[in-house]
Chains A and B, each alone.
Chain A
Amino acid sequence: MYAGIDAGSRAIKVVLIGDDGFEIIAQGQVDQGVEQDQLACRLFEQVLADGGVCRSDVRRIVATGYGRNAIPMADTTITEITCHAVGVRHLVPDVMTVIDIGGQDSKLMRLDRNGKVRDFAMNDRCAAGTGRFLEVVADQLGLSLGDLGPMAALSRSPAAISSMCVVFAETEIIGLLAGGRAREDIVAGVQTAIASRIVAMAGRNAESPIVFTGGVARISGMETALQTALGRPVAISPEPQMTGALGAALLARRQHDSY
């Protein structure tokens, strides 16, 4: 079997797949922390135990994600761009566009008919339009990440959030709260702002089917905001937080086969 480890900025994910490359044997995730290598190691052992397999059964390990170069047990590393594309394509075979919003990155990948990455775009230096941005907002409004979706659904007129800088948006939200704006309008406004940022990356011609993945895809309401902004349907990937690790495991198998 083969393993993929996605060491993201906010969470580490591990997926173990069988020799046939179709069956997921076991998977797990843990919040990112100070000693990433040890966190990843413990998680990996946990996933092995869950799958009832031992370390020597794993033929190859590929690490991906922000911290991919600090995973000593990995045989090699592949970027999250390629891994997410492969992972999503495995789950949704006809996908043409992948939107991945993670802890500190948002990315858009355009695939060709064979599922290979044609090109990609990414946010630059700042964490605007990412999971971290939503965390800051939730924190400021006294909500958990899980509350954001239901809260946004209540909004009838989303607030206009002009600043996509985490720091300045915080100031802007303080202003909106002071002005008596309802929390649901603020949350909905933030989701709309993130979605418009993605549209700027995608251009108007993102090819369907469009699949949304990454940790932020688990926050309800985000896909609706993306759909509205893009003007076309957006499907949430199955297991959105795991597609990077899944892609890494699938690529580990492909690499092993080609040796």
Chain B
Amino acid sequence: MGNCFDSKDIKINASDPCHPPQCGALGPGRASVPARQRASCGDARPTADSPPAWFEGMIRNCLQYACEAKAKGRHIVGILCEYTPRELIMAADAVPVCLCGGSAEMIGPAQEHLPANLCPLIKSTYGYHVQKANPFLEMADMVVAETTCDGKKKMYELMAETRPMYVLELPQKPNDADAMAHWVRELRKLKTRLEKAFGVTITDEKMRQAIRTMNRERALRRQLAELMKSDRPPLTGRQLLQFKSNISCICADVAQYRRALELYKPVSAEESVGQAPPYQIRVLMTGVPVVHGAERVVEIIESHGGLVVCMDNCTGLKPILEDVDETAADPMVALAEKYFRLPCSVMTKNSRRLDVLTELARQYQAQCVIDLVWQACLTYDVESYFVKRLAETDLGIPYLRIETDYSPSDSARIAMRVEALFETVRQRASA
């Protein structure tokens, strides 16, 4: 227990091409070492000069934060899905860390246990587990997962052989009258488990505090995303995607979200008078999460004439679209209600996803929909039938489904499809 990774430990991996230093396979980290941060809120002044530079060092920042928390006796809890309420873990004075893998290099090791025909996100996450290459997982005192898709659910059983694992049972019929009550019970069981494991008491007040903290961060990130509603957004979709953290509510991150909001302003109508209309095609991206290190398709879209103005997925707007009710009598019920509303494809029926997409397409003036499906992600793959119909029939805009994994071998082919999609959009616009 408590074998916190410090920079010395991590350097050992530097000679191994599969495990770049500073768990760089999770995504690129910056080479320079940041100034130490204060752990207390209110006086966090990150020294990286701009939000993009700061968030480029996200993995390293998170690692430093987690190590410091661990050193102070706080517990680290790995999470694998947006259905897990971070607030509950934070109220146990533990640090929730996202463990989703985005590295192609971890897929090979995973396939020693898992079938090849499984989604790359699951395989990459599991690859880090078998290789012991994700420092956050290595320092985790508990992993909290849930019954979402079959692939994840069964992978957790393998992971649980050597890790302390708690699995929430996520009801999958969101419209059933008793579904919410079941979900509330599941969260209460997790609360008891956290309290026992960490020897703490999770009070309503602690939960409310965590809810306020998370709401504050969600609001800031939502405002950043809303900058993309502009006719001339001040950011690319790729830049916006960078503004996130595997650990929520780090004070220094929050300061950078604020800073970004001061820095990036939408171009006003007056300023854009006389300017040629933007050339890029406005893309609404939907489907699977684009986790850190697996941003290839976003980059392809934006280097071929597109601008991803909106992502409705788990690494985009989905988890930050709504807040938790801070005034609710029972904070646990408030938490359950917020999280259970996430429109994931594991739900049946998942009609809320289509409602959200309809609204987002309008707000963000999307000219086309690109539906990203990780290979062998059955639920998103099947659901693409409804999304295609929604785009073409109800929204009246072209739709493209891209099925791929983490290996770059099909980049040229994806680029061709994306270009052809944009040609289609332009042809329609000129008709």
Contacts and interface: CB of A to CB of B under 8 A. Distances in A.
Interface of A: 66, 78-82, 105, 114, 116-120, 122, 124-125
B327 interface: no
Interface in B357-401: 392, 398-399
B428 interface: yes
A80 B404 CA distance: 21
Residue picked from B392, B398, B399, B427, most chain A C-beta under 10 Å = B427
A79 B416 contact: yes
Contacts of A117: 420, 423-424, 427
A120 B417 CA distance: 9
B43 interface: no
B410 A122 contact: no
Contacts of B412: 66
A119 B392 contact: yes
A119 to B, nearest CB: 6
B276 interface: no
A125 B416 contact: no
A78 B423 contact: yes
Nearest to A114: B431
A108 B424 CA distance: 14
Given A124-B410, A125-B409, A116 B420 contact: no
Contact of B427 (A82, A105, A119, A120): A82
User: Is chain B's binding surface mostly helix, strand, loop or mixed?
Assistant: helix
B413 interface: yes
A117 B427 CA distance: 8
11 contacts: A66-B416, A78-B423, A80-B420, A116-B424, A117-B420, A118-B424, A119-B392, A120-B424, A122-B413, A125-B404, A125-B410
A80 B409 CA distance: 20
A116 B428 contact: yes
A124 B405 CA distance: 11
A79 B420 contact: yes
Q: Which 7 A-B pairs have the closest CB atoms?
A: A81-B420, A79-B420, A82-B423, A116-B427, A79-B419, A117-B424, A125-B410
A74 to B, nearest CB: 14
B403 interface: yes
A227 to B, nearest CB: 26
A81 B427 CA distance: 13
A113 to B, nearest CB: 11
Nearest to A124: B403
A122 B417 CA distance: 8
